[in-house]
Amino acid sequence: MGKIRIPIFSEFQIQELENSYRHGKSHALRQRYHIVLLKQQGHSSKHITSLKDYPKHQSTINNWVTRYEKLGINGLKNKQGQGRKSILNPVIHRQKVEEIVKSEPQRLDYAKSLIEKELDVKMNKKTLTRFLKTLSVLTEE
């Protein structure tokens, strides 16, 4: 069995991790903060991977610890550009979507089909609803 890697952090770093773990926005980030804290407390990567709903590869655990050591708390956040890209962009598609929805305000399904044809995209009705909510928030500001 290999030697357990125990990172050494300052009191400020530990407080920052604990605070972020307790009050973080996303579940995935809180989980990453917790994993780094567990490593700092002396738990092995093998033990952490055995916990329910935690990553199943020890290399993932060690990569997060390394990222935290190099980049701090921001190293545990998702990098820009990760995740699914938006179907509709408020800057590009705003005017066309607003025109179509205003022409068919009572028939959102029909408006959706017109938008799909006009912009050559496929989307769910919920996608259009969320996009319209985003537009309403942008216009309120």
Residue 37 and residue 69 in one domain:
yes
pLDDT band at 72 (very low <50, low <70, confident <90, very high): very high
Question: How many structural domains is the chain composed of?
Answer: 2
Residue where a domain stops, chosen among 46, 76, 106: 76
Note whether residue 84 is domain-resident: no
Residue 70: predicted pLDDT = 94
What does the pLDDT read at residue 78? 85
Q: Which of 47, 76, 105 finishes a domain?
A: 76
pLDDT at 5: 83
pLDDT tens digit sequence for 21-69: 999 888 999 999 999 999 999 999 999 999 988 999 999 999 999 999 9
**Residue 107 lies in domain:** 90-140
90 vs 115: CA distance, rounded Å: 14
Query: Has residue 5 been placed in a domain?
Result: no
Structural domain contains residue 94: yes
Which pairs from 5-10 meet CB under 8 Å and 24+ separation?
Answer: 5/39, 5/45, 5/62, 5/65, 6/39, 6/40, 6/42, 7/36, 7/39, 7/40, 7/65, 7/68, 7/69, 8/40, 9/40
68 and 19 together in one domain: yes
User: Domain check: are 71 and 104 in the same one?
Assistant: no
Q: 117-139, pLDDT tens digit by residue?
A: 999 999 999 999 999 998 887 66
- pLDDT tier for residue 99 given thresholds of 50, 70 and 90: very high
Tell me: do 123 and 100 sit in the same domain.
yes
Same domain, 100 and 52: no
CA dihedral 6, 7, 13, 15 (to 10 degrees): 0
- pTM metric for this prediction: 0.61
